[in-house]
A and B are shown apart, each in its own frame.
Chain A
Amino acid sequence: MEQLVNLFHGFAVALQPYNIMLMVIGIVLGVIIGVLPGLGGANGVAILLPLTFSMSPTSAIIMLSCIYWGALFGGAITSILFNIPGEPWSVATTFDGYPMAQQGKAGEALTAAFTSSFVGALFAVVMITLVAPLVASFALQFGPAEKFAVYFLAFCSFVGLSKEPPFKTIAAMMIGFALAAVGLDSITGQLRLTFGVTHLLNGFDFLIAVIGLFGIGEILLTMEEGLAFRGGTAKINLRVVLQTWKELPAYWMTSLRSCFIGCWMGITPAGATPASFMSYGIAKRVAKKGSNFGKGEIEGVVAPETAAHAAGTAALLPMLSLGVPGSPTAAVLLGGLLIWGLQPGPMLFVEQKEFVWGLIASMYLGNIVGLLVVLTCVPIFAAILRVPFSIIAPLILVLCAIGAYSVHSSTFDVMLMLVFGVIGYLLKKCNYPLAPLVLAIVLGDKAEEAFRQSLLGSQGSFGVFLSNPLVSTIMILGLIALFWSVIQEGYSRLRSAATA
C-alpha cells in the first residue's frame, strides 16, 4: 500500500493551483502541436524544454508530459477530419475515422477517439501505479531477438488486413521496406541508396511520407471527385458526445485487448505506432463486424486509439526506471530529466519520490483535463468540415507544407512531400493499399536493425529467434497471425467435411 500513500502525496503536489495551470497550458499546447502534422510531440517538447529550466523539476515534467498527452489527443483530430495523421500513431485511426467523417459522423468518431485515448492512458497509468517495479524487470528481458519478434508480430498481424489482392499488399509493403532502407545503414555505418544526394542522408522520414501519401493524396482525390467535402452534415453539438458514450461500452472487449497490446508495446519498448497498427489488425480479425473495418466502423477507431495511448503512457515507465525512452518524445523528456539534475534509472523511484509520484499523479489528472478540453471542442472541430473545400484545401496544403518543413527544417522535404502526394494518389487509383507501405516505412529499419543485431550476437544462427520461451512465444504468435486466414479456412472446411 506504500504505492497508494505515495500516489496521494503525488496528487497533493500535482493539485497545487500553479501545477494545474501548467497542466491546462500543456494540454492546449499539446493539442495544437498534435494537430499540426509534422511538428510532432518530440519537436514540440524539445522546443519548449528550455522554458522549463526556471521551474522546479516536478512542475516542469508536469507541463511537458501534459504537452505529450495533448499531442496524443490532438493527433487524432486531423486524421479523422482530413485523413492526415498528425502523428505516426494516428495513421491507423484514419482507416475508419476518416470514412466516418465522410459519412457525417465526425463528431462520433472524434468522441470515440478521445474517449478511447483516455481509457487506454488510464489503464496504463493504473498499471504503472501498481506494478511499476515488476514491469521494469520485464523490459530488461528484451534483447535484439525479442525486439525483432515484436516487430515480426506487428507485421504479421497486419498482413491480409486490406481487401486488396495479397500481391498488391506485399508490393506496397516492399516499396515501404525499400524506402526505409535509404540512408545510413546503422549496422555497417555506411550510406545506402543515397546516390551522393545530401538530402537523402537522413533517409525518407516517415512523417513526410505520411503527410504526402495521405494528406496531399487525399486532396488530389477530392479535387478529382468534384471539389467537395463529404461529411459536412456532421452534427455539431455536445449531445453527440453523450450518444457516442452510450454506444462505446459495447466494445469493451476490443478496448481491453487494445489496452493490453498498448501497455505491452509501450514497455518493450516498441512504441505507440506499432501498437496502434497491431491493435487495429487484431480487432479486424476478431471483431464481429471485422469485415466492415475500413468503411467507417467505430470499433476501428476505438482499437488503435486505445492502444496508442496506452503505449504512449506506458512508454514513460522504461524511461523513468531504466533510462531508455520508449518513444521519440520520451527521449526528449529524458534529456530534460538529466538537465534538471535527475538521473533516470533504478534509483529514481527511491530517491526522487516526490518527482516520480507527482508525475504519475499528473498522468491521471492530465488525462482527465485533456479529455475535458478536447471533448468540449468536438463540435468546433466537427464544424470545420462545413467550411467549403475551396477555402479549406489551400489551408490544409499550407499546413502540410509547414508540417513537412518543420520535421528537419528543410525545403527539400516539402518537395518530397508533394512527390509522395502524387504517388499516394496513383497508388490509390490503382487500388494499392497505403497502410502496409506506411507500416514498412515506420518499422522497416527498426526491424532490420534488430534482426541483424540478433544474428551478429548469435554469430549467424537463426536459432536465436527460438532460443528462449519469450522470443519463441512471440514468433509463434506472429506465424499464427500470418496464417490465420488459412487456418480459419482449413478449420471451417474440416468442419463442413465432418458435418457433410
Chain B
Amino acid sequence: MRRSTHLALGAIAALCTGGVAAPATAAWEPVRPVEFIVPAGTGGGADQMARTIQGIVTKHSLMKQPLVVINKSGGAGGEGFLDVKGSGGNPHKIIITLSNLFTTPLATGIPFSWKDLTPVAMLALDEFVLWVNADKPYKTAKEYIDAVKAAPAGSIKMGGTGSKQEDQIITVAVEKAVGTKFTYIPYKGGGEVAVQLVGNHVDSTVNNPIEAVAQWRGGKLRPLCVFDAKPMAYDEPIADGKAWKDVPTCKSAGLDMEYLMLRGIFMAPRATKDQVEYYVELFKKIRATPEWQEFMKSGAFNTTFLTGAEYAKWVEAEDKRHQALMKEAGFLAPSN
C-alpha cells in the first residue's frame, strides 16, 4: 500500500519535471518517526552510540521526525536483524551494527546475512586492546605472552563479552599466534568484563577502550597492545602520562592479529537511492558536531567513514574474514 503511494508520487514528480533529462531528485525525507534498532542490550557499546546519536539529533534538530531507539537484543542480536530484514521497503527503520552482524548468523544459524540489508554508512571502527590487571608484573605484551606460554595450557583465564563473538574470535587468534590455550570465560557486558579483571577473577581481557578506560585512569588496569595496524590517534594523556597513542600495536609485540569492530548503519531491504542518500547526509551532519567528536575521543574510536560501494566492499571482505575465522575456531552452527 505504502509503496504504491510512493510509486504514484514518483510518477507525479516525474511528470512535473517532465522536460528535464535528469531523473526527479525531489530529496526523500522521513514522514513518520524513524525506528533506530539496536541489536544489543541497553547500556552496551552499540546502545550508547545509538543513544548519543539520538541525543545529537534532538539537540541540533537534525531531523524533522523523531528518532526512536529500540533495543532488540534477543538471540545475540538476531531478533533485531530479522526484524529489519522483514521490514523490506520500510525506509523508517535503520539499524546500528556491531560484529554480531557477521558472527550471529554463523554461530546460531538464523536465516540472515548482511546482504539482506541496505548498507548506509560506516560510522567508526571500535578498537580492541589487550588488558591486564595493573598489579600484575607484565609491562609489555611480550612479557605477558611469555608468561602465558610458560603456564600450563588452559590455566590462564581470558574474559570477554559473549560467546563465539568478537572477543572470543580474538582470543582464538591470540591462542593460535602464541601456540597455547586460554580458558575463555564469557560475560554479558564489556563493563562487567573489565571489573572482573580488576577483581582478578580473570587474567586478561580484550576490552574496547571505552569499556576499560575508567579503570585505566584509576590505575587498576594496564593496556598492553592494540589489535590494529597502527597505534590509536589520540594523544591526550590518560594515566601515568600515557595516552592511547602510546599503546603499541600487538603486531609489534609479536602478536600478528588485527581486529576492528564495525559500528555501521544499515537500512531495511529495498531502500531507494534517495532514502540512503538522506541518511548518509544525516550522519555526515552528526559526525560534524562537537558532541560526536567528543564521543569518538572518549572511546578512542578509529573514525574511518565509508559509504556506498566502498562501504559494501569493506563489509563483504569482513564477512569473508569472519567466515574464515569462525570456521577455523570451530564456531559455526551445525546447520551451516
- Of A18-26, A336-344, A484-492, the one contacting chain B is A336-344
B184 to chain A, nearest CB (A): 8
The answer to whether A347 has its CB under 8 Å from any CB of chain B is: yes
Residue of A nearest to B165 (CB): A189
- Which of chain B's residues have a CB closer than 8 A to the CB of A336? 51
Given A49-B51, A335-B48, A339-B51, check contact A198 B183 (CB 8 Å).
Answer: no
Q: Point out the residue from A51, A186, A332 that lies within 8 Å of B188, measured CB to CB.
A: A186
- Which of chain B's residues have a CB closer than 8 A to the CB of A186? 162-163, 186, 188
The answer to whether A202 has its CB under 8 Å from any CB of chain B is: yes
The answer to whether B110 has its CB under 8 Å from any CB of chain A is: yes
Is the CB–CB distance between B188 and A457 below 8 Å? no
- Which of chain B's residues have a CB closer than 8 A to the CB of A331? 41-43, 189
Q: Point out the residue from B82, B187, B214 that lies within 8 Å of A344, measured CB to CB.
A: B214
Is the CB–CB distance between A143 and B194 below 8 Å? no
Is the CB–CB distance between B76 and A335 below 8 Å? no
The answer to whether B294 has its CB under 8 Å from any CB of chain A is: yes
What 0/1 readout, one digit per residue, does chain A (116-150) give for beta carbons within 8 Å of chain B?
00000000000000000000000011111000000
The answer to whether A499 has its CB under 8 Å from any CB of chain B is: no
Is the CB–CB distance between A345 and B214 below 8 Å? yes
Is the CB–CB distance between A325 and B59 below 8 Å? no
The answer to whether A183 has its CB under 8 Å from any CB of chain B is: yes
Q: Given the complex of chains A and B, what is the CA–CA distance between A82 and B125 in angstroms?
A: 49
The answer to whether B237 has its CB under 8 Å from any CB of chain A is: no
- Which of chain A's residues have a CB closer than 8 A to the CB of B186? 186-187, 189, 453
Q: Point out the residue from A191, A203, A334 that lies within 8 Å of B43, measured CB to CB.
A: A334
Q: Point out the residue from A42, A324, A341 that lies within 8 Å of B191, measured CB to CB.
A: A324
- Which of chain B's residues have a CB closer than 8 A to the CB of A457? 157, 183, 185, 201-202
- In B53-111, the 8 Å CB interface with A consists of 54-56, 58-59, 69-76, 78-79, 82, 107-110
Residue of A nearest to B104 (CB): A189
Q: Point out the residue from B41, B42, B295 that lies within 8 Å of A339, measured CB to CB.
A: B295
Residue of B nearest to A203 (CB): B74
A236 to chain B, nearest CB (A): 38
Q: Given the complex of chains A and B, what is the CA–CA distance between A347 and B55 in angstroms?
A: 25
Residue of B nearest to A202 (CB): B74
Is the CB–CB distance between A190 and B107 below 8 Å? yes
- Which of chain A's residues have a CB closer than 8 A to the CB of B73? 202
- Of B6-14, B16-24, B215-223, B241-249, the one contacting chain A is B215-223
A497 to chain B, nearest CB (A): 48
The answer to whether B52 has its CB under 8 Å from any CB of chain A is: yes
B48, B186, B192: most-surrounded residue (chain A CB, <10 A)? B186
- Which of chain A's residues have a CB closer than 8 A to the CB of B185? 144, 453, 456-457
Given A322-B198, A338-B210, check contact A191 B75 (CB 8 Å).
Answer: yes
- Which of chain B's residues have a CB closer than 8 A to the CB of A416? none
Q: Given the complex of chains A and B, what is the CA–CA distance between A456 and B51 in angstroms?
A: 35
Is the CB–CB distance between B191 and A343 below 8 Å? no
- In B214-255, the 8 Å CB interface with A consists of 214-215, 217-220
Given A189-B331, A191-B108, check contact A347 B79 (CB 8 Å).
Answer: no
Q: Point out the residue from B42, B52, B162, B331 that lies within 8 Å of A332, measured CB to CB.
A: B42
Q: Given the complex of chains A and B, what is the CA–CA distance between A97 and B65 in angstroms?
A: 44
- Which of chain B's residues have a CB closer than 8 A to the CB of A185? 163
B85 to chain A, nearest CB (A): 10
Q: Given the complex of chains A and B, what is the CA–CA distance between A409 and B72 in angstroms?
A: 9
Given A189-B165, A332-B43, A343-B298, check contact A409 B201 (CB 8 Å).
Answer: no
Q: Given the complex of chains A and B, what is the CA–CA distance between A334 and B191 in angstroms?
A: 10
The answer to whether A201 has its CB under 8 Å from any CB of chain B is: yes
Report the 7 A-B pairs with minimum CB-CB distance, sorted nearest first: A345-B214, A202-B74, A346-B218, A201-B75, A189-B163, A331-B43, A143-B201
**A49-B51, A201-B78 provided; 16 other pairs, C-beta below 8 A?**
A50-B54, A142-B199, A143-B196, A184-B74, A190-B107, A191-B110, A323-B191, A323-B214, A325-B191, A335-B47, A341-B294, A345-B213, A345-B215, A346-B215, A456-B185, A457-B157
